[in-house]
Amino acid sequence: MHMTDSNQSKKSRNPWAWIPSLYFYQGIPYSIVMITSGLIYKTMGVSIATFAFWTSLLYLPWAIKPLWSPYIDVVSTKRNWILWTQLLLGAAFIAVGFAMQLPFYFPATIAIFAVIAISSASHDIAADGFYMLSLDQHNQAFFVGIRSTFYRFAMLTALGLLPLIAGVIQENTGLEPVSFEVNAIPASQYKAADIADFKITKQEGIPKIIIYPEKIQVPIFEKGTSKLDSAVIFVALSASPAQDETIVVNLGRKTGSKDIDLPKNQTGRFEFTTANWNKPVAAVIRVDHNLTSQTSSQFRATAGNIAFSWTVSLGALGIILLLLAVYHRIALPKPVEIKEKTKVDLKVYGEVFKSFFTKPGIGPALIFFLMYRLGEAQLVKVATPFLVDARNSGGIGLTSAQYGIAYGTLGMICLTIGGILGGVVASKFGLKKMIWIMAFAMNIPVSVYVYLSTFQPVPGDITIYMSIAAEQLGYGFGFTAYMLYMLSFVGESKFKTAEFAIGTSLMALGMMIPGMLSGFMKELLGYQHFFIYVMICAIPGMIAIKFLKIDPTFGIKEEAKG
């Protein structure tokens, strides 16, 4: 009897023991390949158009995964597929971390990311099938918010914690940091630095950061008396970087008076190579016009080892993924999977696709699957570069660490609240009643990027954090509708794992093609008009909702239906 109870326990573990970690794992590879890679390549100096095209092309495995989803249905068990793909993914992330050190890192990492994409797409098929196999309909509806939340929590790890770790490493590696004080003095005592006096004598060995002048002062603005409110300083290196090496110097205020800072339209990011290491770059330091007394502020110039920072953070992530794979070996239940001795041939493919594409309401469903995320597909490729891009290029100018904090703190909390709330509300009132509210919640908050690109608040400004929080809250709540509709559309089909894979592949296709064009659209329109265009792109998917066939009772608990 004890043996039977033990076996039964393994077959029906508490969903809370494995759903959060399984979907956290599922979200990591997708988030890194599709989103964080943009930050990685941006900090490494790759153009937006180039990395947006190639990383969007990596959507392809998710888009064509129905081609091999029948194999996952009939070859081995979904549990085994989950465990083996998780081990492969953990090892691949360690490999991509080491590849960041190679001279040809871009093609090398893109190739490894392709392996990760294929493995991740296979993992997704197995995990989603395992989810439907292990839970009844009500629990599927209830936990869809939980799984979406932890999937998005994985995205926040990729967008928040990973860049934060990389940012800390960047600030503590590479060239020796240079700290300096800036003093605000009366305009009558101020004398501007002369670039002609800045003499650079080449030194041997590792370059050092040079800031000129040594004593930096900035004039206090005196209305009606003097229009001076800023000082120009110059940044250069003491020696040439290695051939084909780019040294990125980041300049920013660390402590002291907030009334002395870089102006709104300037980021403190400067790139030096063998061609310009000894050509001073000008940076402006400005005082707030409300400052009336003498004060000071401390600045810091850093030039961390960017490639090394990503090697460490990606390698550490790979180790965590391997440990999670071991955990899932223990924690995943062992539901009974009825395996038919089916040969995967054209007949099976035909049955799967016929079952999916002949369902009632397939037309509006296809439009919904392909168009619901049309705006997000493009936003997700450009939002990250926008937040870290130079202010004089229209961006916000966040450092990797600031970017990580913005997404990894308040954004994480709001996303969690939104995702859980979406699942709870849908399981109480049903998808049909809630889908419109969820759709608006997902798409309207995109307007925060229109605000950010229009007013360009200074890095650290609370409105940046509030904007990201609003977008995350809305997305967490609204994306639940998308996954729930996909579950309801597949229903209790004989091939529900393969059919769900078709649905998610259509979703990936709807992300891939617009994403490939996003970089070019951004360069054509500029940040502000691009974000307005993204909001317009949300309209077709919203219209499709009106024509969807949804069971009014889908997801509602049995007692509540009566």
In the sheet with 247-256, reading across from the earlier edge strand, the strands are: 216-220, 175-186, 295-303, 247-256, 269-272
User: What is the reported pLDDT for 267?
Assistant: 66
Q: Whole-angstrom Cα distance, residue 320 to residue 322?
A: 5
Whether residue 212 is predicted with pLDDT greater than 90 in this model: the reply is: yes
pLDDT of residue 8: 47
Max Cα–Cα distance, the chain, nearest Å: 93
Structure pTM?
0.65
Q: pLDDT digit string (tens) for 288-310?
A: 888 888 999 999 898 888 889 99
- Kindly give the interhelix angle for 462-490 and 137-156, rounded to the nearest 10 degrees: 150
Is the per-residue pLDDT at 71 higher than 90? no
**Which of the 8 DSSP states describes residue 249?**
E
Residue-level pLDDT at 9: 46
Instruction: For residue 159, give both structure tokens.
Output: 């967008």
Distance CA 219, CA 186 (A): 6
pLDDT in tens, 183-202: 999 988 998 888 888 888 88
Q: Which residues, 6+ apart, have CB-to-CB distance to 352 below 8 Å?
A: 66, 69, 70, 495, 498, 499, 502
Average pLDDT, the chain: 83
The amino acid sitting at 81 is W
Q: Is the pLDDT of residue 358 over 90?
A: no
Q: What are phi and psi for residue 252, nearest 5 degrees? A: -165, 160
Domains of the chain: 7-171+308-561 (1.20.1250.20), 175-303 (no CATH)
Question: Mean per-residue pLDDT for 430-448?
Answer: 87
Span 86-121, pLDDT tens digits: 999 999 999 999 999 888 899 999 999 999 999 999
* Cis amide bond preceding 213, omega within 30: yes
For 128-152, what is each residue's pLDDT tens digit? 888 888 887 677 777 877 787 788 7
Torsions phi, psi of 230, nearest 5? Answer: -155, 165
**pLDDT confidence of 383, banded at 50, 70, 90?**
confident
Q: What pLDDT is recorded for position 346?
A: 64
Neighbours of 368 (CB within 10 A): 29
What mean pLDDT comes out for the span 212-232? Answer: 89
Q: Looking at 252-261, 477-486, 492-501, which range is the least confident one?
A: 492-501
